[in-house]
Structure 1
């Protein structure tokens, strides 16, 4: 294997020996491992979900690569052509390391690259026939999902009001929960009036899918200004509005809820893949729904696996942005 094997721990040799590469160094990088080999640089990641769920992700990546979108971290097969390596009861996936920098959604040109890369990804996702894993098939689930989350906010409110000793988080939550329940109701009304069923029916028939975590750290821009998309761990069969709305929301939050930045992101996307008027109405409903407020409440009252200080910072930052958010969404609703 070479004299540099001292940089490759024994446990990794058991994994990497299953691939046609000669590793010389392995280093931890965030939640993955950076593998230097004679053949190039690779990313190694432990697969922590069931095999059939991994097969869904693998199939989505292969579908994109075979339909004209190669700017993804495609999974490399082991020597026996299986898509992952097994070692000591665990599964691992290897892909080529994509050289570049993470996108910055506060920079206009990065937003342009990210939006147009997403549009091309969405175009290539057409005709995806997923492996049978129901947990990733989300057609038509938005209304029930929003209803369920709104009910959870109501249940959390009842639960907190019964407490004799209320924490700082409880007090902040109670002060704003009614407003955000009303936001849920508005989002549901917008969804029903905006033609969600028709958008969903058309997209389901043509079998598109979305990335579902289009955060800036999952968009890598290379030295030539080309966008690459990584980490498809959350990809699902769902309407493409989900990704578009998510991108717009992230851009707005990084610009103090400046609606013009969200419009710009949508326009960049629209230049590559036309967004219908029905889709824009569905996107507006998604933006209106207070996902972040529900998420931090759910983490606090149900999951209970995050430091309280972190959750308090999150809920405070969300409610402090309440007026800016309302102003931005109101203006955005008039423009798209």
Structure 2
């Protein structure tokens, strides 16, 4: 058994038969089913909030989330001998969603829609809504657009440009137009009203929904890792999943359409939600991420990985624009 979590496991009534390392965690086979032990770096209040929401989801009939388990003393946080805090949760047998497998992807997005139905009207206290709400999308886009301009100014002042910087300057104008278009779209309707409604109705997002957080089994589809759960417009989860899946599949329009159709078969979206989703997809998120990584790294040594990623971004921009056009006319107008 792993020595660093022995103290943690000893605090529970189950008997552990095997421990193996997972992604940043320890997965345990026990006489009470699979468990996962993970280091915890957030506040006790955050953990209490997560557990209250998961109790609500369970009480509404959905059991395939990684429920927190109390130890013998009824506590959810456990100390090991080095002073590190750990949580123990139920875990699931199965495999991670394969982003290249359409059936897996559609099963995952169907489960997201089901969860979104259950994660509404979670009537927790007002102070929790304020504490666990997220910065609104417009403010995030404004900040990222400002960062792109700062990177542009930095590169323009350089006497010599490397390959990454030359490609950045080549792509900058079109990407800034996309950033402006995304913000313009969000300003064309009552975005503040839509977000206020989500907060008033205690509407929750998973916060980090991607193919890594979905475990598939022949009997069920489980969703895990709610560490970033917060109150906001739920379409943000759909955006994150859709974007990441399509980036891995060269913005395959047919797959994107199937993802949308599958989600909408379970949960309908208002026109405003669809327009928010369209605006999010319009923003050049990948371009910003690559550029931001470059800007915050050592300039004396430019990673070839960043340049390769920027080349791939350029190569798939045509497909992304094709999907945006299809999305606009299929799901908005």
Is this a same-fold pair by TM over 0.5? yes
Segments of 4+ moved more than 6 angstroms? none
Distance 2:7 2:97 in 1: 34
Is the 2:105–2:211 Cα contact (8 Å) retained in structure 1? no
- Deviation, structure 1 residue 20: 1.6
- Deviation, structure 1 residue 304: 5.8
Change (3 A) 1:86 1:327: same
Deviates more, 1:286-295 or 1:62-71: 62-71
Distance 2:297 2:64 in 1: 35
1:268 aligns with 2:268: no
* Residue of structure 2 in register with 1:243 after alignment: 237
Q: Which residue among 318, 321, 333 is the counterpart of 1:323? A: 318
Distance 2:2 2:250 in 1: 45
**Which structure 2 residues correspond to residues 221-260 of structure 1 after superposition, within 5 A?**
221-224=216-219, 226-260=220-254
Change (3 A) 1:310 1:65: farther
2:321 is paired with a residue whose SS is: helix
Distance 1:133 1:94 in 2: 26
* Residue of structure 1 in register with 2:9 after alignment: 16
Distance 2:218 2:109 in 1: 18
**Which structure 2 residues correspond to residues 3-42 of structure 1 after superposition, within 5 A?**
8-42=1-35
1:123 aligns with 2:136: no
Give the alignment's TM-score, normalised by structure 1.
Answer: 0.89
Is the 2:294–2:302 Cα contact (8 Å) retained in structure 1? no
Q: Which runs of 5+ in 2 are unaligned?
A: none
* Residue of structure 1 in register with 2:53 after alignment: 60
1:193 is paired with a residue whose SS is: coil
* Residue of structure 2 in register with 1:5 after alignment: none
* Residue of structure 2 in register with 1:180 after alignment: 175
Is the 2:129–2:202 Cα contact (8 Å) retained in structure 1? no
Distance 2:94 2:119 in 1: 24
* Residue of structure 2 in register with 1:288 after alignment: 282
Q: Which runs of 5+ in 1 are unaligned?
A: 1-7
Change (3 A) 1:54 1:14: same
* Residue of structure 1 in register with 2:306 after alignment: 311
* Residue of structure 2 in register with 1:101 after alignment: 95
* Residue of structure 2 in register with 1:138 after alignment: 134
* Residue of structure 1 in register with 2:209 after alignment: 214
Distance 2:229 2:101 in 1: 25
- Deviation, structure 1 residue 135: 6.4
Distance 2:179 2:52 in 1: 34
1:25 is paired with a residue whose SS is: strand
- Deviation, structure 1 residue 284: 0.4
Q: Deviations over 1:46-105 (max 9, x none)?
A: 112333333333333333223332211111111111112112221111112211122224
Distance 2:45 2:305 in 1: 34
1:78 aligns with 2:71: yes
1:200 aligns with 2:207: no
Distance 2:329 2:153 in 1: 35
Distance 1:183 1:196 in 2: 19
- Deviation, structure 1 residue 307: 8.4
- Deviation, structure 1 residue 218: 0.9
